Amino acid sequence: MGKIIFILGGARSGKSSFALKLAKKSKKRKVAFIATAQARDREMGKRILLHRLARPSNFKTFEEALNLSGLLKKISSGFDVIIIDCLTLFVSNLMLKRFKEKEILEEIDKVLAMLKKTNTKAIIVSNEVGLGIVPQTKLGRNFRDIAGKVNQAVAKKADNVFFMVSGLPWRVK
């Protein structure tokens, strides 16, 4: 049965670095890194490049913005560790393609069910979106609500949950 480690935190809290550290500690070395970010502008392209450069060369990178369950179906049996970074960008991508809340939650349920059926350690990264102010726009509030529900669904199924604060992991579960 697969193990799920869920890492939450604010922006620049050290989530991705901690995920890489956990994956590097693994005795098994076949690591897949699933990136959900899309370079919609030059600055984001630079951020994506810096993330790529921070990954060890033995990690196999996959870029998937919309169909995590489809990608996992293809690759999950070939890797010992899978990092998914990050769920909030994934939710954003789906929302921009007009996916409804129910469809997004169904996709997350598929992803979690697949990961639990494998012998893979999955490390999932997401932003905690509920600590800030109420967004001013309807789209912002919808995003916060859906991302919060996604985070709750993943935390419920995860074996371990960490909350990152200023680069320090705090074990929640």
Catalytic residues: 51
3-state secondary structure the chain: CCEEEEEEECCCCCHHHHHHHHHHHCCCCCEEEEECCCCCCHHHHHHHHHHHHHCCCCCEEEECCCCHHHHHHHHHHHCCEEEEECHHHHHHHHHHCCCCHHHHHHHHHHHHHHHHHCCCEEEEEEECCCCCCCCCCHHHHHHHHHHHHHHHHHHHHCCEEEEEECCEEEECC
